[in-house]
């Protein structure tokens, strides 16, 4: 039984802050923020809304609608960021290039970024974009947590096997530092586990002393 997560209360009061087309339009680079990334059809907005118990990110049946860096405030020092969806075939090439340019600028310059949640459709994991994000996180030392989304689309045994297979490949190519789990927004599968990762990154969990007790 996981303890009551302090991030839940913050999420219940979360609010839209600003949308930015370019890095210089982002909020002041202070405090802590966690960014959500993924291909346009990976269920990124649904996952963000499920984790926060709110309708923060706009979901659409047409992938690729998230064309801006969307910032959501949890409190004065903490934010969540919905990054532009990537890789949807019907998006014009110039727009794709714009997204990539400013996504790279954000990732490379944002001092307050403390972790990245990468969403992969469990049926189509480790795409070219996913691998690019994994390469970047390892090279930059940025904590990264993977949600294998749409896990409800597979039988439980098949989903577990997919998780093990992807985990093995990630450890082989990118090492032990990247965490991964099953996730389903409609079934609320894996929500508490993912929320604990967010709480740790956003410095919301009580510190423990060397004896293993809370400080």
Q: DSSP string of 121-133?
A: ETTS-S-HHHHHH
Mean local confidence (pLDDT), 58-69: 57
Residue pointed to by tokens 């940025």: 142
End-to-end CA distance of the chain: 21
Residue pointed to by tokens 């993912």: 194
Q: Is the Cβ–Cβ distance between 93 and 44 less than 8 Å?
A: no
CB atoms within 10 A of CB 3: 10
How many angstroms separate the CA atoms of 54 and 144, rounded? Answer: 23
Strands 69-73 and 144-149: unpaired
Strands 69-73 and 15-20: antiparallel
How many angstroms separate the CA atoms of 69 and 22, rounded? Answer: 8
Highest-confidence segment of 16-20, 86-90, 189-193, 210-214? 189-193
Q: What is the pLDDT of residue 87?
A: 61
Q: pLDDT tier at 215 (50, 70, 90 boundaries)?
A: very low
Helix axis angle, 191-201 relative to 44-52, nearest 10°? 80
Q: pLDDT tier at 209 (50, 70, 90 boundaries)?
A: very low
How many angstroms separate the CA atoms of 24 and 7, rounded? Answer: 28
Half-sphere exposure of 9 (CA within 13 A, CB side): 4
Tokens representing 22 are 């370019």
Least confident of 28-32, 88-92, 139-143, 172-176: 88-92
Task: Give the Cα-Cα-Cα angle 144, 5, 58 (nearest 5 degrees).
Answer: 60
Mean local confidence (pLDDT), 26-43: 92
Q: Between 172 and 11, where is the model more confident? A: 172
Q: What is the pLDDT of residue 94?
A: 64
* pTM score of the predicted model: 0.88
Q: pLDDT tier at 22 (50, 70, 90 boundaries)?
A: confident
CB atoms within 10 A of CB 153: 13
Q: Is the Cβ–Cβ distance between 23 and 109 less than 8 Å?
A: yes
Tokens representing 196 are 């604990």
Q: Between 96 and 139, where is the model more confident? A: 139
**Residues of the chain with pLDDT > 70: what percent?**
83
Q: pLDDT tier at 64 (50, 70, 90 boundaries)?
A: very low
How many angstroms separate the CA atoms of 82 and 94, rounded? Answer: 21
Mean local confidence (pLDDT), 168-192: 96
């Amino acid at each position: 039984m996981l303890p009551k997560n302090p991030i839940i209360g913050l999420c219940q009061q979360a609010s839209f802050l600003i949308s930015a087309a370019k890095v210089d339009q982002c909020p002041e680079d202070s405090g802590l923020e966690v960014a959500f990334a993924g291909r346009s059809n990976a269920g990124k907005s649904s996952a963000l809304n499920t984790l926060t118990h709110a309708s923060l990110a706009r979901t659409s049946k047409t992938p690729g609608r998230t064309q801006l860096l969307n910032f959501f405030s949890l409190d004065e020092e903490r934010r969540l960021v919905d990054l532009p969806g990537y890789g949807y075939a019907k998006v014009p090439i110039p727009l794709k290039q714009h997204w990539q340019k400013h996504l790279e600028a954000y990732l490379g310059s944002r001092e307050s970024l403390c972790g990245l949640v990468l969403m992969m459709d469990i049926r189509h994991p480790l795409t070219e974009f996913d691998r690019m994000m994994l390469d970047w996180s390892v090279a930059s030392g940025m904590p990264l947590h993977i949600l294998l989304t749409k896990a409800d689309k597979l039988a439980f045994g098949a989903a577990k096997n997919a998780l093990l297979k992807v985990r093995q490949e990630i450890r082989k190519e990118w090492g032990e530092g990247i965490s991964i789990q099953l996730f389903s927004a409609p079934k609320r599968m894996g929500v508490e586990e993912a929320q604990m990762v967010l709480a740790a990154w956003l410095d919301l969990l009580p510190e423990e002393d060397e004896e293993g007790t809370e400080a």
